Structure 1
Amino acid sequence: METDEEYNGLGAAHVPAQQTGSEMNAVEKIELASEGEAVHFFKTVKDRLLDVNRWTEIAGGAMSDFFLTDEHGNLVQRKATGGDHIRIDIPGPGTQTGGGYDWVTIEEIKLEVLYDTEVLSMTARPSANPLTASEDTAHFLTKAATSTFQVKRIGNTIYAEEHGRNEVPNTDTEHTLDNIRNTFVGWGAKVGFSYPQWKALVKGLLNHDHPYPSA
């Protein structure tokens, strides 16, 4: 896995500080022939990042299934915005708390442009199931955890990154089976089982030959 030194700089302030549990960094980059070509392709990369419903396709099918919902948990077919939720279908048994799924909320989407650089960041955090009245976190990690997805352009080089922070298994729900399941899934994430899927996603975001979406 990549080290801190490989991504510090542009957009680093958008990533929450690491304070507890484990962290993860998945980083990919592509260098294009000219800055003009990079500016053009970066529009496609930004669209891909915000098109959560196509993440599995963009990653080549090498990950869980992701579905964008509004703040109330209703499925939507559009680009992500702050306050939306992402319903995640992880292979294997889901949780009772999440109605069979894991849930996160998109806390913030930031776009920063400075001279010949651009960065788009989207930070998601484990949340309650918006389809129920329960306030229990419906995710295998606690609400302390975050995933920050970033795409950056520096001149003619484009980066795609995922930064997981404060990853602690969620073992304090009202359901014993959920706690057991979250322990195992959280342990798997901690030892790196989730790294390949995020690596596939960030690589797919930069796939210059990928037919979707047209630039």
Structure 2
Amino acid sequence: MEEKDYTGTVPEKFDGGNINAERVAELHNIAAAKALFIAARKRLLDVNNWKEISKQPIAEFSLTDSNGNEVSGPVQEGMYFRIDIPGPGTKTGNGFDWVLVEKISEYQLEDIESIGIRVRPASNPKNMDQEIAHFYSPQTTSTFTITRENTKVTAAVYDRNTKANTDDLGFLDKLRNMLTGAVGILAFSKIQWESLTDGLIKDNNC
């Protein structure tokens, strides 16, 4: 599928795998499409409610500040996602997986508008340990986008350069990441992201 990357937030593939998830809504007129884009953009920025809007949620996402403390409101660059997935977490992440919000960008023309949020596996901001607290390696990124092209609105997630994180970890954390990373590449991320994109552009009464 062709990426919706008007914002320039999706990096190029150089190693590992790719995972794409897209959902498209075709609206009957421009006004309806603009209204859906506004609603979907708001849902995208409201990370703490991703579990509620997903049709088949697997993970729970919590937005935190740079110290790992939970925060409300729309996501901003420099914040973190604390991710709770089924099964055991890592000691490094205090039972969670962590990603850093490294870029948020928007693009707008008369017939096209888009927003992109890119995150990357990160260390646990609640401790001084610099080891990556995620089952994917730090070269992996996830980019979440909402795009309106005339009367079409697309919600998408693009994982790029996906590889399991096995560097500089204890045996149990390395084993967990190898297993979870393999499942993530094959199934977990695809199912989670398809569920999220469904929820982002669900019908609304705008």
1:120 aligned onto 2:112:
no
Give the aligned partner of residue 78 of structure 2.
Answer: 83
**Quick one: which amino acid aligns to residue 115 of structure 2?**
L
Give the aligned partner of residue 169 of structure 1.
Answer: 164
1:131–1:9: structure 2 CA closer, same or farther, 3 Å change rule? closer
Give the aligned partner of residue 62 of structure 1.
Answer: 57
Contact 2:9/2:103, CA 8 A, preserved across alignment: no
Give the aligned partner of residue 11 of structure 2.
Answer: 16
Measure how far apart 1:144 and its partner are. 0.2
Aligned partner of residue 8 in structure 2, secondary structure: helix
TM-score by length of 1: 0.92
TM-score by length of 2: 0.96
Deviations 1:103-149 (A, max 9, x none): 00000100100221001000000000000001100000111000000
5+ residue gaps, structure 2: none
Given candidates 188, 193, 213, the residue that maps to 2:188 is 193
Contact 1:7/1:27, CA 8 A, preserved across alignment: no
Aligned partner of residue 180 in structure 2, secondary structure: helix
1:179 aligned onto 2:174:
yes
Given candidates 147, 150, 153, the residue that maps to 2:145 is 150
**Quick one: which amino acid aligns to residue 176 of structure 1?**
F
Give the whole-Å Cα distance in 2 for the aligned partners of 1:21 and 1:12.
23
Give the aligned partner of residue 205 of structure 1.
Answer: 200
Measure how far apart 1:9 and its partner are. 5.3
The alignment's C-alpha RMSD in Å is 1.4
Give the whole-Å Cα distance in 2 for the aligned partners of 1:153 and 1:22.
27
Task: Kindly tell me the number of residue pairs found equivalent between the two proteins.
Answer: 206
Give the whole-Å Cα distance in 2 for the aligned partners of 1:189 and 1:174.
19
Given candidates 85, 93, 105, the residue that maps to 2:100 is 105
Structure 1 segments (4+ residues) deviating >6 Å: none
Given candidates 41, 46, 50, the residue that maps to 2:41 is 46
Identity of aligned pairs, percent?
A: 37
1:31 aligned onto 2:30:
no
Contact 1:52/1:79, CA 8 A, preserved across alignment: yes
**Quick one: which amino acid aligns to residue 30 of structure 2?**
E
Measure how far apart 1:175 and its partner are. 1.6
5+ residue gaps, structure 1: 1-5
Measure how far apart 1:12 and its partner are. 7.0
Deviations 1:9-46 (A, max 9, x none): 55273210111111100011001111011112211100
1:165–1:175: structure 2 CA closer, same or farther, 3 Å change rule? same
